[in-house]
Structure 1
Amino acid sequence: MPPPNAAIDISSPATERPFYHAVGNEERVFAAAFRQQLPVLLKGPTGCGKTRFVEAMAHEMGRPLITVACHDDLTTADLVGRFLLRGGETEWVDGPLTRAVREGAICYLDEVVEARQDTTVVLHPLADHRRTLPIERLGETLSAAAGFCLVVSYNPGYQSVLKDLKDSTRQRMVAIQFDYPHQDVERMIVQRESGIGPHVAEDLVRLAQAIRRLDGAGLREVSSTRVLIAAARLAQAGLSLREAAEAAIIAPLTDDHAVGASLRQLVDVYLAGQRHD
């Protein structure tokens, strides 16, 4: 039973490796960091494959994966654990971070800067040579089991100054930079993940690239590989490409009428053929 505020996912190593297509040396860097018991920081835009990468690496390393979706209300107790009342008795319940430390799992803190800075400070002794987790409520300090690896991610372009990662945290970690893949790779990913034909995947990728080139268009985020896959899957389910693009790309990106109109103009240009091969 996880602590109340912790949105977590716990998975054993998959029997088949989750699909991830390397675009650089990120897999080799992660493997080297894992072998040297170094924590890893993944930096990159929303929907570019960071979470899938961690899933694939957990499979490669043969370790369970514990994922925590960080948010403003996440407390140290949510990560470490707390005493809960069960059947009239008080019982200690490990948080996801403590469980990963005990079991030698990979602990992935997704969008770590969404958590309060006083919460992320608990990571410091785990992220340096000590590899320990002090549990003040129990009066003990845990040493990380073999195989434990701390992985955190965030989107530098989205965060404000008030929601940046502390330098004292950054400099404890090996950083891997992510971005949207090259056009040919992204087309292959969209096609593989959705089952859509190559020409439709190509059109969607070209649309995404056009949106990403927009400068000062009032968009907080641009179209990710994730939303392209969603649009392709909607098209596979019978929607027209315009309908799919509206539901999966335009509507999630903006609530502004003028910005939406500009995006629809791009849809008219890049998805005019409406091919469903």
Structure 2
Amino acid sequence: MDLSQQLKDIIEQHKHTEATDFDYLIGEGGYIPSNKEILTDIIAALVQGKNVLLKGPTGSGKTKLAETLSSLFNQPLFSVNCSVDLDAESFVGFKTIDYQEGKQIIDFVPGPLVQAMTHGHFLYIDEINMAKPETLPIINGVLDYRRQITNPLTNEVIKAKEGFNVIAAINEGYIGTTRLNEALKNRFIIIDVPYLQGEQLKTLIQENTELKDDQLMSQFVQLSNDLIEASQQGKVSEDAASIRALLDACDLSSMIPPKRAILRSIIDKLEDDREKEVVRNLADTLFE
């Protein structure tokens, strides 16, 4: 039985319950969902060959989730990091001059999209809403029932091998992002990925940082909760509440005082002095 069928069977067995337990499949260091229905629903979409769009604040674990799914399905993960400079070659590949039997030839070097399609692997498109709107239509045919693309550099029609899937991620509301058009959005199953909090966050700290002090871990969990609340109230940006930055602070706190770790990992990344002061005050209430 292949892994996709195994995952289908697990979902079928648990579809009338509130959550499906994938802990024994994920293993230590994998993504810890705030709600296990999130993981169940994504897996259900992927085993049916659907594209998944992960939507959530920065540092909420979208990339870690994509890596965990890649591991769960035992599929290599090719990645594209979007920006305003992204062009077709960043997806498809590029031509280069090579030598074969002493003769100069024009060779094509496949990009992450072509590699993922031809090998039947996963493609992860990070911050897809950072790409220029005119760049993304090139992948429309890849994302719908056709599962194919005409390589603009070679005119070759590339059809995706079975197992190929697309996982994309967006951070909404950031400078430089654009709204996804409906044609593109409709090609995805959309999953909201919230910040981890409470015991799930504490488990994440235990499994992914050098911090071993239980009391300090609990204090960092509370700091994260306070930062998320401050972000929701508009007092700080989402960057201040990033779980990624919090984990860096936890790592450093295993070797230096916590407030200095927070300064290096969170506060000094912020541009606004008022935001820095909010984070500093929250840290002062929790750490000596």
Quickly name the TM-score band, shorter chain normalised.
0.7 to 0.9
Q: How far did residue 206 of structure 1 move?
A: 1.1
Of residues 221, 224, 232, the one that matches 2:239 is: 221
Moved over 4 A (4+): 15-18
Native 8 Å contact 1:68 1:110 kept in 2: yes
Native 8 Å contact 2:33 2:196 kept in 1: no
Of residues 160, 169, 185, the one that matches 2:184 is: 169
TM-score, normalised on structure 1?
Answer: 0.86
Residue 243 (structure 1) aligned with residue 260 (structure 2)? yes
- Counterpart in the other structure of 1:133: 149
Range moving further from structure 2, 79-88 or 163-172 = 79-88
- Counterpart in the other structure of 1:39: 51
Aligned length: 255
Alignment of 1:122-271 (within 5 A): 122-158=138-174, 163-196=178-211, 197-214=213-230, 215-217=233-235, 219=237, 221-236=239-254, 238-252=255-269, 254-271=270-287
- Counterpart in the other structure of 2:90: 78
Q: How far did residue 47 of structure 1 move?
A: 1.0
Of residues 51, 62, 79, the one that matches 2:63 is: 51
Counterparts of 1:85 and 1:234, CA distance in 2:
47
User: What are the Cα deviations for residues 236-275 of structure 1, in whole angstroms up to 9, with x where unaligned?
Assistant: 1x210010000011112x1222331222111101223xxx
| Structure 2 unpaired stretches of 5+ | 1-25
Counterparts of 1:94 and 1:17, CA distance in 2:
33
Counterparts of 1:82 and 1:135, CA distance in 2:
10
Native 8 Å contact 1:18 1:55 kept in 2: no
Native 8 Å contact 2:59 2:239 kept in 1: no
SS at match of 2:49: coil
Q: How far did residue 17 of structure 1 move?
A: 6.8
Counterparts of 2:49 and 2:273, CA distance in 1:
49
Q: 1:220 to 1:195 in 2, by over 3 A?
A: closer
- Counterpart in the other structure of 1:109: 125
Q: How far did residue 86 of structure 1 move?
A: 2.4
Letter in 1 for 2:73: M
Q: 1:76 to 1:248 in 2, by over 3 A?
A: same
| Structure 1 unpaired stretches of 5+ | 1-14, 273-277
Range moving further from structure 2, 170-179 or 257-266 = 257-266
- Counterpart in the other structure of 1:68: 80
Native 8 Å contact 2:55 2:190 kept in 1: yes
User: What are the Cα deviations for residues 169-196 of structure 1, in whole angstroms up to 9, with x where unaligned?
Assistant: 1111111110112312112211221132
Counterparts of 1:240 and 1:83, CA distance in 2:
52
Counterparts of 2:107 and 2:277, CA distance in 1:
56
Q: How far did residue 79 of structure 1 move?
A: 0.6
Native 8 Å contact 1:18 1:52 kept in 2: no
TM-score, normalised on structure 2?
Answer: 0.83
Q: 1:184 to 1:218 in 2, by over 3 A?
A: closer
Native 8 Å contact 1:187 1:198 kept in 2: no
